[in-house]
Amino acid sequence: MRTSADRSAELLEVFRLRSEQRLRKECTGEVATAHEAAPLGPHDDRTQRVLRALRSLPTAGKHIIFSEGPDGPWRVAKIVLSLPGNLLLTQLSFEDYEDAMRSIFTARVAELLQN
């Protein structure tokens, strides 16, 4: 027998799928160009919406920036909940924080478009 919790879960999944579909449509070349030009902002409304949505994706599997010192270098890491420390460091390393931000943006968009 179907319960109200089952229906709520179905509606939440429909909302999630529609939100991801809308986000995929908003990940345009203009957004990528705007982020490439100024990773720290300020950003136009569309770019800010895309960034906010990418940042609010589930934590597991998310790409993040890991600092190896107070002023870098900056490494790209991925949150993997089954590993010790829940962190998998990649080989990508950057001397400039903004370059690391560009790499994270590209990785998150690629992962979004892949799903």
What tokens does 86 get?
A: 């829940």
Residue 113: the pLDDT is 85
User: Pick the residue with more confidence: 85 or 30?
Assistant: 30
Domain ranges of the chain: 4-114
E-strand stretches of the chain: 63-67, 74-79, 87-94
Distance CA 95, CA 56 (A): 26
Instruction: Indicate if the pLDDT at residue 8 is higher than 80.
Output: yes
- Asked if residues 52 and 70 have their Cβ atoms less than 8 Å apart, the reply is no
pLDDT tens digits, one per residue of 73-103: 999 999 999 888 899 999 999 999 999 999 9
Please report which confidence band the pLDDT of residue 12 belongs to, taking 50, 70 and 90 as the band edges: very high
Distance CA 79, CA 85 (A): 9
Is residue 84 reached through a cis peptide bond, with omega within 30 degrees of 0 on the bond before it? no
User: Pick the residue with more confidence: 31 or 58?
Assistant: 31
Residue with tokens 């590993």: 83
